[in-house]
Chain A
Amino acid sequence: MSLSDWLSEPTNWVFLVVGLGVAGSAFRVVTSKNVVHAALYLVATLGGTAVLFLLLSAEFVAWVLVLVYIGAVIVLFLFGIMITRAPIGYDASLDNNRRGIAAVVSGALFLLMSWAAIDFFGSEPLQGIGEGTSTELLGESILGRFVFPFEIVSFVLLAALIGGITVARKDATPAESEEGV
């Protein structure tokens, strides 16, 4: 497939624009000097990723991304930043001089993932992309074939939740419990 063929497809233009937007805002997430700005750029990144999933007709995954990540996780981030009096605004301690190592690690990770994808799929067009996944099918495979991994993940999450509550809760001192507080 030549470049002009690729560009003649309108979907590819959308992919290009959204993909560059995602990459740009992801870059701003790590370079932003303001924690709140970084979190907001993360919203843009995740929103763009949801659009990319929509382009692949993976509607369910796209809306899960919006509901869980934008609607809950980022809200918790922002909530946490604002309620804990974390330094808002420019913070020099957010920066350090280990950029070289970070560049090597992320570059290696990118190469590894690209190599894995190219090695596995080659130039074969992917089957079933754009046909959409039925949510019914997704539900059946999660509660059928993948029920064990699903339950294990739920168990781990539950354990983490209980752990979090145990760490955060303040037990009454003996004096307080005697008073029946």
Chain B
Amino acid sequence: MSDLLANFWILLALKLVAIGALVPVTALVIGYAELKISAHMQSRIGPYFAGGRWGWAQLIADGIKFFQKEDIIPEEADRQVFKWAPALVLLSTVALFVVIPFSPTLIVQDLDLGVFYVLAISSVSTIGVLMAGWSSANKYSLMGGLRAAGQLIAYELPLLLAVVGVIIQAGTMSLVGIVEAQASFEVFGTIAVPYVAVQFVGFLVFMTAALAELNRIPFDLPVAESELVMGFVTEYSGFRFLFFFLGEYANMFSMSAIASTLFLGGYHFPGLNAEIWGPVVLTVKILALAFLMIWFRWTFPRLREDQLQKFAWKWLIPVSLANIAVTGIFKVVM
């Protein structure tokens, strides 16, 4: 077994299969959670029949349905760009899974620049969104694409700046390194506390910006149903729509995973062996954050475009800059 794992190509193939399986599974789990939790928050039952019990197979059935559908491309559309856009969005989502550490060793590749890689790769999806919006030859799509781009540019900055505080504190950009730094980080006595205790401002800014990056309510203007039909996804159907859908929910998982790793201690929990319990601990933290995002969806109304931009440039960015300054001062003084 260890001989087999030592071969570079076999290990690479295994890792690719693992990620290829993980992305749809996480998307299904979070998508199903959204259906069910939303239903309960609105005193409905939600999916009920598919699969025999609790409607657990609802999204699998939906997925199969999408694959059977005709692949419709609008006549006026720019065909090549239209076809490549969903692939680019999904690609940037899948690439994020490479650096998520589920335990000290259960990680596809621990990069020295892990955090930086995450921020760089997640910015690529903006191009995919703009491509989708432009190539659809539809006014709603173009409006959605432009809104998405404006929003992603505005909220990428606070996302980056919020992470800088953590990097300063941990002294490393490797995600495993950041978790290990939190495992040995003690403020009040002997129990290690995650960075959220001292980087609370950073955590709030990061989660807000992550919500905006994911186009979720209250920042869902690019796909606002009541204004833009479905924004940049309007013209997509069949498996290309499925790509966007998978990307959206898998991205929710990966963003929550990054947030848990940076601020909530990742796979580490005091008293539990990270090699064995790491994946469970991280999954629990991820699902808790995903639940929070679903909860927000039914709590806050949608912002207006100018409010959204003002909030990013006049509040989030100054606050995260102040956070960096304070963190830097403490790092030097203490």
Which A residues lie at the B interface, using CB under 8 A? 36-37, 40, 43, 59-60, 63-64, 66-67, 70-72, 74-76, 78-79, 82-83, 88, 134-135
Contacts and interface: CB of A to CB of B under 8 A. Distances in A.
Contacts of A63: 113, 116-117, 120
A74 B127 contact: yes
Interface stretch (B45-53, B148-156, B319-327): B148-156
B81 A70 contact: no
Nearest to B129: A75
Nearest to A88: B134
A71 B120 contact: yes
Interface string B102-133: 00000000011100110111011011001101
Contacts of A83: 146
Nearest to A67: B120
Interface in B137-178: 142, 145-146, 149-150, 152-153, 156, 173
A72 B126 CA distance: 9
Q: Is the interface of A mostly helix, strand, loop or mixed?
A: helix
A135 B146 contact: no
Interface string B194-222: 00000000000000000000000000000
22 contacts: A36-B78, A36-B134, A40-B127, A60-B113, A63-B113, A64-B120, A66-B120, A66-B123, A66-B124, A67-B119, A71-B126, A71-B156, A72-B153, A74-B127, A75-B123, A75-B127, A75-B149, A76-B153, A78-B149, A79-B130, A79-B149, A82-B134
A114 to B, nearest CB: 31
A69 to B, nearest CB: 10
Contacts of A88: 134
A135 B173 contact: yes
A88 B134 CA distance: 10
Q: Which one of A43, A67, A74 has the highest number of Cβ atoms from chain B below 10 Å of its Cβ?
A: A67
A111 B66 CA distance: 54
Contacts of A67: 116, 119-120, 123
Given A36-B134, A82-B134, A43 B127 contact: yes
B130 A78 contact: yes
Nearest to A78: B130
Contact of B124 (A36, A64, A71): A71
A66 B173 CA distance: 17
Contact of A78 (B117, B121, B134): B134
Contacts of B123: 66-67, 70-72, 75
Contacts of A75: 123, 126-127, 130, 149, 152-153
The 10 closest A-B CB pairs, nearest first, are A71-B123, A67-B120, A66-B120, A63-B120, A78-B130, A79-B149, A75-B126, A63-B116, A59-B113, A63-B117
Interface string B273-291: 0000000000000000000
Contacts of A36: 78, 81, 134
Contacts of A43: 127
Contacts of A76: 153
A41 to B, nearest CB: 11
A59 B121 CA distance: 13
B117 to A, nearest CB: 6
Contacts of A40: 81, 127, 131
Contacts of B121: 66
A36 B130 CA distance: 10
A146 B41 CA distance: 57
Contacts of B133: 82
A173 B126 CA distance: 38
B227 to A, nearest CB: 18
B142 A82 contact: yes
Q: Which one of B113, B130, B145, B150 has the highest number of Cβ atoms from chain A below 10 Å of its Cβ?
A: B130
Nearest to A63: B120
Nearest to A81: B134
A45 to B, nearest CB: 13
Nearest to A76: B153
A135 B131 contact: no
Contacts of B149: 75, 78-79
A36 B149 CA distance: 15
Nearest to B152: A75
